[in-house]
Chain A
């Protein structure tokens, strides 16, 4: 039996609005915004799970909870059967904005997480070089982020996340800022590398194509307050390659995901004019 590495149980997350801001919740004025409500999800060890849902449905907030960067208002997120309270070495994050440290070279960025774990310099450099070569960036180890293209920066950011050999990789719309071609290339690279490591991945995206191409399962999140509406098994064979994108099976899966998502996106758009700026 496959073990569940992550279990989210009745997770609620509320944010306090800034002073003077209010939001209308079904006719009741409130200065709190409920982003997740009754969010239940089990994620199997080694699976590639993609979260899709309308903007503001709390997908990224859920990643923060798994990563220990914030805590649920109520409910529990378990990682390896232990409640998550603070960042742990078992998770690693990849952000949409790459978030590479601009004052560090590509190599030194990848070393960052290893430094905090007390890995010696020689070993750090060895690990970082291996990862750079995995992403075809061996010639760029001394470059600073401003000297790299967006696609290269995100490759370095993924390498940085993988350096600590995390059990769970949290990816928050990692390819959203890239152009369409680079995006597909990086999806192919990610799937190739992931199939080799069997790390658990939780991947947030707004692209249904991306979700279907990458995922073992696609979890559709409802409009705010977010909870899991439906989980769709993607029955496409692995290893996956670029040709798969134009197959009938791909289109059928795409149709299934969009069917589940459509109503939520419409609902969220009604709500969208109320979009708040929230602080915790």
Chain B
């Protein structure tokens, strides 16, 4: 028939020999992610353009807002000279220690509160009262109690990061589908097995979200803490630049902070995906 599709033999041969598995598994999702991500670029560029234009057109005094290009240049110089790196490392170290401690304490505590109703009844009021006080409001108390050194900074980061971790662990434990518990019990799982093989893995997605939020908070809190009585860290750097009227340096510090936040966030999204690989994504189910 005339409607029959005519394909030259060579083309068919070639098509059969191309192995697409690697491309489909590795490259395609990457390109797709890049494609989605790239849609945000125009608006960011517009923002930078505005930042460049306003001081150059004299609408804002360059003394208070140096153009974007000047800020980038300053940031570049700071990175090359190594002046910034030390502060970044110090800030990251503080927030990592504070966050790590929060993780080690909040997650087990969250399991206890989520699993044992009685325990939650006794602890919930205190937890709710503490968690609803702004971390920044407590900064002076931490300084009084722990002094101006490292302990007060770590303690305030620990405090700030704890609540999201705690709340998400509790809700993770509480939202474990009863059918999994029933299934495990019917197969003779011991209490320890029930925890290890059901409650723990089932709560991981929720804990991962808590960890992401907690890490974000620890990055915010570390900057605030470093602005009060610190001699190093990105927060100190920004504050110090402001006091000495090194305005481009101050903006460069803030820009560095934004980049750092973005990197940490994507890193944690990646960790979250890695730990919840078994959930799959909507639409990726093999057989619908």
Contacts A117-B188, A148-B287, A152-B287 given; indicate if A99 touches B278 (C-beta within 8 A): no
Closest to B189 in A: A116
**Contact A93–B202 (Cβ < 8 Å):** no
Task: Please tell me if A83 contacts chain B, counting CB pairs below 8 Å.
Answer: no
Contacts A147-B285, A164-B187 given; indicate if A93 touches B180 (C-beta within 8 A): no
**Most chain B CB atoms below 10 A, which of A91, A104, A116, A152:** A116
| A-side interface size class | 20 to 34
Task: Please tell me if A101 contacts chain B, counting CB pairs below 8 Å.
Answer: yes
Choice from A95, A117, A148 contacting B183 with Cβ under 8 Å: A95
Task: Please tell me if A144 contacts chain B, counting CB pairs below 8 Å.
Answer: yes
**Contact A97–B278 (Cβ < 8 Å):** no
Please encode chain A, from 93 to 111, with 1 for each CB lying within 8 Å of some chain B CB and 0 for all others.
1010101011110000000
Q: With both chains docked as a complex, state the minimum distance between the C-beta of B279 and any C-beta of chain A, in angstroms.
A: 7
Choice from B180, B187, B288 contacting A116 with Cβ under 8 Å: B187
Task: Please tell me if A112 contacts chain B, counting CB pairs below 8 Å.
Answer: yes
**Contact B279–A102 (Cβ < 8 Å):** yes
Q: With both chains docked as a complex, state the minimum distance between the C-beta of B185 and any C-beta of chain A, in angstroms.
A: 6
Task: Please tell me if B209 contacts chain A, counting CB pairs below 8 Å.
Answer: no
**Contact B286–A88 (Cβ < 8 Å):** no
Task: Please tell me if A92 contacts chain B, counting CB pairs below 8 Å.
Answer: yes
Choice from B182, B201, B279 contacting A99 with Cβ under 8 Å: B182
B180: A residues at CB distance < 8 A: 99, 101
B213: A residues at CB distance < 8 A: none
A147: B residues at CB distance < 8 A: 280, 285-287
Task: Please tell me if B190 contacts chain A, counting CB pairs below 8 Å.
Answer: yes
Please encode chain B, from 168 to 212, with 1 for each CB lying within 8 Å of some chain A CB and 0 for all others.
000000000001101111111110010001100110100000000
Task: Please tell me if A225 contacts chain B, counting CB pairs below 8 Å.
Answer: no
Task: Please tell me if A199 contacts chain B, counting CB pairs below 8 Å.
Answer: no
Closest to A149 in B: B287
Contacts A144-B278, A147-B280, A149-B287 given; indicate if A101 touches B198 (C-beta within 8 A): yes
**Contact B287–A112 (Cβ < 8 Å):** no
Task: Please tell me if A113 contacts chain B, counting CB pairs below 8 Å.
Answer: yes
**Contact B188–A113 (Cβ < 8 Å):** yes
Task: Please tell me if A87 contacts chain B, counting CB pairs below 8 Å.
Answer: yes
Alpha-carbon distance A104/B277, docked complex (angstroms): 11
**Contact A149–B288 (Cβ < 8 Å):** yes
Task: Please tell me if A143 contacts chain B, counting CB pairs below 8 Å.
Answer: yes
**Contact A103–B202 (Cβ < 8 Å):** yes
List, sorted by A's number, 10 A–B pairs whose CB atoms are closer than 8 Å.
Answer: A87-B185, A93-B183, A99-B180, A99-B182, A101-B201, A102-B278, A103-B202, A143-B286, A144-B278, A144-B280
Chain A residues close to B by CB (< 8 Å): 67, 69, 87-89, 91-93, 95, 97, 99, 101-104, 112-113, 115-117, 143-144, 146-149, 152, 160, 164, 170
